[in-house]
Each structure stands twice: as structure tokens, then as C-alpha cells.
């Protein structure tokens, strides 16, 4: 059975290093701050920005948990519960791309426990071909192949 806490603990520093921590809105394509036309930036239920780092961590954990919980209980994800590192890599793909369920070749490779095919599925993806994301997906591919977080 998946150890959700272990996977999240593995993922948190990886995600923070890859995404950074920004307490104000920014354009994720350029990294540049964005500004409201007028008034103040607010999110959720009237929460004025900037967020505190603690608030950002709570929000991150809620979102990462939602992506992880979407996979927990699915047989191909549970079949690799002995490798929370590979589960962490799948969580990173899901978190960064918005859904693991569009990654059909990767899921097929995980089902077969064919780690070379999983490596290739990640490296041959549209995300990996984005110059800004290539190093990240190369690292994810290496983790899928070796079972070791790179």
C-alpha cells in the first residue's frame, strides 16, 4: 500500500527546487511577476496576497495530496508501492503537467514495470521537449529508470 506521507516528503524538496517559492502571482512561462489592473490580488475566500511561506506550504500540500490521492488505490500505482521514489516521479509528472492520466505510454510502461520504456515515455514527451522543462523531465526519466531520485 502506498505510504502517502513518504511520497509527499520525498516530493516536497524536489517540487520546491523545481518550482521555486513565490508568494505573489507570476507568469510561469517567463517567471516575471504579474500585476492586477487595479485593486489587490486575492485568492480563495478573500485572501489578500502575498501569501506567507507557511500558507504557500499548506496550499502546496493540499494540491500535491490531491494529485497523489488521484493515483492511490489504482492497481498500477499500488503495484510499485515498494518504490516510493518512482511514485514520487509519477507525482511530479502529474503535478507539473496537470494530470498523469494523459500519459498513456508512461502508464503502460509502469503497468508492465518496464523501466526503460518508462524512461523513454518521459523523455519522448512534449514536456521533455520544452527547453525550459527538459532537465526536469530528464531527471524524472532517470528516476523512473533507476528507482533512485536524481
pLDDT in tens, 35-65: 877 888 888 888 888 999 999 999 999 999 9
- Asked whether residue 46 is domain-assigned, the answer is no
Q: What's the number of domains the chain is made of?
A: 1
Query: CA 46: distance to chain centroid?
Result: 27
H-run or E-run covering 74: none
- Asked whether residue 32 is domain-assigned, the answer is no
Grid cell digits, residue 31: 517567471
**Cell 489587490 appears where?**
40
Residues of the chain where predicted confidence (pLDDT) is lower than 70: none
Is this prediction's pTM over 0.85?
Answer: yes
3-state secondary structure of 48: strand
- Asked whether residue 113 is domain-assigned, the answer is yes
**Residue in 149, 142, 146 with CA at minimum distance from that of residue 122:** 142
Range of the domain at 105: 4-24+52-146
- Asked whether residue 39 is domain-assigned, the answer is no
- Contacts with 125 (C-beta within 8 Å, 6 or more apart), sequence order: 103, 106, 137
- Asked whether residue 92 is domain-assigned, the answer is yes
- Asked whether residue 33 is domain-assigned, the answer is no
How many other CB atoms are found less than 10 A from the CB of residue 93? 25
- Asked whether residue 115 is domain-assigned, the answer is yes
- Asked whether residue 31 is domain-assigned, the answer is no
Grid cell digits, residue 107: 502508464
Amino acid at each position: 500500500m502506498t505510504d502517502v506521507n513518504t511520497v509527499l516528503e520525498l516530493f516536497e524538496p524536489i517540487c520546491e527546487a523545481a518550482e521555486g517559492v513565490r508568494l505573489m502571482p507570476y507568469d510561469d512561462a517567463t517567471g516575471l511577476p504579474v500585476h492586477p489592473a487595479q485593486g489587490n490580488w486575492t485568492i480563495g475566500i478573500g485572501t489578500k496576497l502575498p501569501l506567507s511561506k507557511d500558507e504557500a506550504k499548506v496550499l502546496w500540500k493540499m494540491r500535491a495530496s490531491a494529485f497523489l490521492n488521484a493515483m492511490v488505490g489504482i492497481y498500477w500505482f499500488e503495484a510499485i508501492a515498494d518504490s516510493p521514489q518512482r511514485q514520487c516521479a509519477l507525482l511530479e509528472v502529474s503535478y507539473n503537467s496537470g494530470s498523469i492520466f494523459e500519459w498513456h505510454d508512461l502508464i503502460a510502461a509502469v503497468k508492465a514495470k518496464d523501466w526503460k520504456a518508462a524512461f523513454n515515455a518521459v523523455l519522448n514527451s512534449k514536456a521533455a521537449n520544452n527547453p525550459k522543462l527538459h532537465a526536469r523531465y530528464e531527471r524524472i526519466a532517470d528516476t523512473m529508470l533507476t528507482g533512485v531520485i536524481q
